[in-house]
């Protein structure tokens, strides 16, 4: 009987030892789910690693493409500004020449008769007051009446210069000048020039753009109320303008700076819904994240 008890005790100890050994197995060696073996768990982990590597590669590729696009945009922007400056310089040079012709043109000098050797032509540097004039011949009384109109016109007709009308800039020139000031960060000047453009061409082709760039200038100057007013003109009166999404984004920024985060959030969400997968939608999304 004692021998049977010893056998039963050894069996109990063996079973307890086996249970303890099973409990001490590493977690990764146990089945994750009933019926799942170690091979299946390892395969799932490998698939997850492959998917993660693919996502990382795609992310790196997109970053490289984005950097290339940014470089291209900067290069094109620089070239565009250079062309705009060249155009403005040509216009300024032409305007200065016209002003010089209008204000400082020299009178035409009469050409002496080549057959009269006693007549001499004064040099260009000789003042007119130092050039002696021959004595005027006495008028014939019989011809005094007919000669009087000629005497009343002492300036030779060939020496007259007609007064040029004031230079009036075209719509393109006025807008270009104001836009040039804006991109060169002369914001106060650009606002005044856009106001001049809007007063001269209130129905012009670039009216919506002028209001937009006025809003941008006000925004950079920290004049958020005036920026809001400029953007709202586009939303209320020029709903079909290509500048509408940009104006909506600018208006959202103005509301955000003024502390009206509710209206700013609504505008940014409208941009994402109406213009998905665009640059302005990405900007709106970034601003939404900053509001949260």
Instruction: For the full predicted model, state whether its pTM sits above 0.75.
Output: no
Query: What confidence score (pLDDT) does residue 251 get?
Result: 97
Q: Which pLDDT score, from 0 to 100, does residue 31 have?
A: 47
Q: What is the pLDDT of residue 124?
A: 40
Three-class DSSP labels, the chain:
CHHHHHHHHHHHHHHHHHHHHHHCCCHHHCCCCCCCCHHHHHHHHHHHHHHHHHHHHHHHHHHHHHHHHHHHHHHHHHHHHHHHHHHHHHHHHHHHHHHHHHHHCCCCCCCCCCCCCCCCCCCCCCCHHHCCCCCCCCCCHHHHHHHHHHHCCCCCHHHCCCCCCCCCCCHHHHHHHHHHHHHCCCHHHHHHHHHHHHHHCCCCCCHHHHHHHHHHHHHHCCCHHHHHHHHHHHHHHCCCCCCHHHHHHHHHHHHHHCCCHHHHHHHHHHHHHHCCCCHHHHHHHHHHHHHC
pLDDT at 75: 65
Q: State residue 156's pLDDT score.
A: 47
Q: How far apart are CA 251 and CA 264, in angstroms?
A: 8
- What pLDDT sits at residue 77? 72
- Using CB atoms within 10 Å of the CB of residue 173, give its burial: 0 to 12 exposed, 13 to 18 middle, 19+ buried: middle
Residue with tokens 């004692």: 2
pLDDT per position in the chain (292 positions), as tens?
544 544 455 565 555 555 555 555 544 444 444 555 555 556 666 777 888 888 888 888 888 788 778 767 866 776 677 677 777 767 667 766 776 676 664 444 444 444 433 443 333 433 443 334 444 444 454 444 444 444 444 444 444 444 544 556 899 999 999 999 999 999 999 999 999 999 999 999 999 999 999 999 999 999 999 999 999 999 999 999 999 999 999 999 999 999 999 999 999 999 999 999 999 999 999 999 988 7
Query: What topology does CATH give the domain 171-291?
Result: 1.25.40
């Amino acid at each position: 009987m004692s021998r049977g008890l010893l056998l039963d005790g050894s069996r109990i100890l063996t079973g307890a030892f086996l249970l303890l050994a099973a409990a001490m197995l590493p977690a990764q060696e146990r089945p994750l789910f009933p019926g799942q073996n170690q091979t299946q768990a390892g395969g799932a982990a490998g698939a997850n690693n492959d998917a993660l590597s693919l996502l990382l590669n795609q992310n790196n590729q997109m970053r490289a493409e984005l950097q290339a696009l940014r470089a291209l945009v900067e290069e094109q922007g620089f070239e565009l500004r250079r062309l705009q400056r060249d155009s403005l310089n040509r216009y300024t040079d032409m305007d200065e020449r016209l002003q010089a012709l209008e204000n400082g043109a020299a009178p035409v000098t009469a050409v002496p008769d080549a057959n009269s050797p006693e007549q001499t032509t004064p040099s260009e540097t000789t003042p007119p007051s130092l050039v002696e004039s021959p004595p005027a011949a006495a008028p014939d009384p019989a011809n005094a009446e007919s000669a009087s109109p000629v005497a009343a016109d002492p300036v030779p007709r060939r020496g007259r210069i007609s007064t040029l009308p004031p230079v009036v800039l075209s719509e393109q020139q006025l807008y270009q000048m104001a836009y040039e000031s804006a991109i060169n960060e002369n914001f106060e000047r650009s606002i005044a020039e856009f106001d001049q453009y809007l007063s001269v061409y209130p129905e012009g082709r670039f009216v919506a753009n002028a209001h937009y760039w006025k809003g941008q200038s006000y925004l950079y100057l920290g004049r958020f109320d005036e920026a809001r007013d400029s953007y709202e003109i586009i939303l209320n009166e020029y709903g079909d303008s290509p500048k509408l999404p940009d104006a909506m984004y600018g208006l959202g920024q103005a509301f955000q700076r003024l502390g009206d985060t509710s209206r700013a959030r609504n505008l940014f969400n409208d941009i994402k819904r109406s213009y998905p997968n665009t640059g302005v939608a990405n900007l709106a999304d970034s601003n939404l994240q900053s509001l949260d």
